[in-house]
Amino acid sequence: MEEVVVTKEEKEVVSKNFIERIIEEDLATGRFDHVQTRFPPEPNGYLHIGHAKSILLNSGLANQYGGKFNLRFDDTNPTKEKIEFVESIKKDVAWLGADWEDRLFFASDYFEEMYQCAVKLIKKGKAFVCDLTADEIKEYRGTWDEPGKESPYRNRSVEENLQLFEDMRAGKFANGEKVLRAKIDMASSNINMRDPVIYRVAHMAHHNTGDKWCIYPMYDFAHPIEDAIEHITHSICTLEFEDHRPLYDWVVQECEFEMPPKQIEFAKLYLRNVVTGKRYIKKLVETGIVDGWDDPRLVSISGLRRRGYTPESIKMFVELAGVSKSQSACDMPMLEYCIREDLKAKAPRWMAIVKPVKLIVDNYPEGQVEYLEVANNPENPEMGSRMVPFAKELYIEQEDFMEVPIKKYFRMFPGNEVRLMGAYFVTCTGIDKDEEGNITAIHCTYDPETRGGNCVTRKVKGTIHWVAAPTAIEATCRLYENIIDEEKGVYNEEDGSLNLNPNSLTTLEDCKLEPAFKDAKAFDRFQFVRNGFFCVDCNDSTEERLVFNRIVSLKSSFKMPQ
């Protein structure tokens, strides 16, 4: 039988997404001789998980093709923008690993160039000053089925338009009194091309330029100019800008930029049953339902970071979601899968009791404490081991004991023998209760011959974790559920309010941790044995009292597509 030889190239067939294919064609044909991308957020709020896709896509493509990546703030609307948002966005982008190096820019850096571009359009007869009100402009614009009608001010002379525009800049008109509009085509099938407004009067201080300007460019005019000035090759944006692309191309062409950028649109990253709308999050913050834009129940990037998600897990999630032109939505279990995959081999797997009950080993020597060697992470032997203290009095999880066991319950109940993880076999002998019938302590005996939790002479079905009482560290643990009631959906159809889950946060104040946790610091991540992955809270944790956020439970409902 003849041997079939498979080449290395055939083995390494890589499926390119449509943006990569466009970029490679542009480089091959010589349209561009380099790749330069950018992430252009408006500093009017905090970034969320959807923005992470754009950040990682733009920076990733620049890295992939040996190009450069810019961070640029589209700060053309001073009514909503704050330095607070600028700083939070810089922090988020850096945390995700997108390195803009020394290329941090602001649209406001180019206000003078934009003004001169507008003057150029006026001189070419391609822009005019209009006195119509915003409502009148909207009325004149027409509909998708009907063409618009021209403004009565459309045919002002070049000289008059230049003077009026100069007067607008000089502050001679009130807000809304006049606008500058591009002169394109009021009969265009694309409403965006029907003489769009490109400058408006706004007597407001700007966070970057102060009171220097009282006129500000509109986004659709400013954005392509910013890209052109920065020599962006591929202006990668989401699908809602597809209808704006003809205007983007018109601006860079009429402003006579050499080697104009190419706009490419891709589908947004949507997560089902989460809140990303800025006005909704703002209301949650203002009403105290969440404790800030970085509340761990939110899918803001700062909230995910505080909860304990890693940049690597978010990158994995974005890669799984893929890049396409088709709108689709992902579920939270997919994001949770990614953080489990990232942490399972690198997070220490230590013992912590989140809902404790006392376990007393009656035949263990009074006052004795011995140290047992336990692996830091059984899935990663390179993480080594630690010495864990064992004593007469321990804590175990309340759910690991049942006075009257249900069928197939193999943990602790009267008369049953179980393994204490890494320690001994113990047999439950009785319980203590208070006057109200609540269990206050569980009693057991241990078999000294089973040290290390291994025994060749008999087997037990149940293994539970534990923490020695004399050396236990007390901590607070926060358990999270979706802030949205998933059965009802995100929004109330009657009034548009959010359908909130009243059980989205459970705070446990009496948690008991083994002493290995004593040096834990903000953002340190751990797997609490059998309880899930947890992260030290960066806001509320102190040296005196550790506070942990549960990142995710151990159980997953996500199945990797084949």
Domain membership of residue 245 as a residue range: 17-266
Which CATH number fits the domain that encloses residue 68? 3.40.50.620
Domain membership of residue 10 (yes or no) is no
pLDDT at 453: 75
Whole-angstrom Cα distance, residue 379 to residue 375?
9
- Across the chain, which has 562 residues, the per-10-residue mean pLDDT values are 43 70 97 97 94 97 98 94 94 98 97 98 98 96 93 98 98 97 97 98 94 97 98 96 97 95 95 90 93 95 98 97 90 95 97 98 96 96 97 97 94 96 96 94 96 83 96 98 92 88 96 97 97 97 96 81 58
Among 533, 529, 504, 481, which residue's Cα sits nearest to residue 339? 533
Q: Return the pLDDT at 455.
A: 77
Whether 562 maps to a domain, the answer reads no
Contacts 24+ apart (CB under 8 A), 292-297: 293/45, 293/46, 293/88, 294/46, 294/539, 296/478, 296/480, 296/537, 296/549, 297/480, 297/482, 297/483, 297/504, 297/505
Predicted pLDDT at 493:
81
Residue 165: count other Cβ atoms within 10 Å of its Cβ.
22
> Which residue shows structure tokens 């439970």?
553
Same domain, 30 and 145: yes
Give residue 522's region: left, alpha or beta (phi > 0; psi -120 to 50): beta
Give me 407's structure tokens.
Answer: 């069928």
Q: DSSP class of residue 381?
A: G
Q: At what angle do helices 219-229 and 111-123 cross, to 10 degrees?
A: 110
Which stretches does DSSP call E strand in 257-320?
262-266, 270-271
Confidence (pLDDT) at 533:
98
CB neighbours of residue 138 within 10 Å: 11
Q: How many domains does the chain have?
A: 2
Structural domain contains residue 512: yes
| Model pTM score | 0.91
Considering only CA atoms, which of 112, 135, 215, 128 is closest in space to residue 171? 215
Indicate the pairing of strand 417-420 with strand 234-238.
Answer: unpaired
Look up the CATH number of the domain holding residue 457: 2.40.240.10
Strands (E) located in 189-261: 197-201, 215-217, 234-238
pLDDT of residue 11: 39
**Domain stops at, among 266, 286, 316:** 266
Do 353 and 464 belong together in one domain?
A: yes
Chosen domain end from 215, 232, 266: 266
Cβ-contact 526, 310 below 8 angstroms: no
Do 367 and 233 fall within a single domain?
A: no
Looking at the structure, do residues 257 and 384 belong to the same domain, yes or no?
no
Q: Are residues 256 and 353 in the same domain?
A: no
- Give the domain-ending residue among 238, 266, 294: 266
pLDDT of residue 12: 40
pLDDT for 555: 85
Residue 3: per-residue pLDDT: 43
* pLDDT at residue 211 in the model: 94
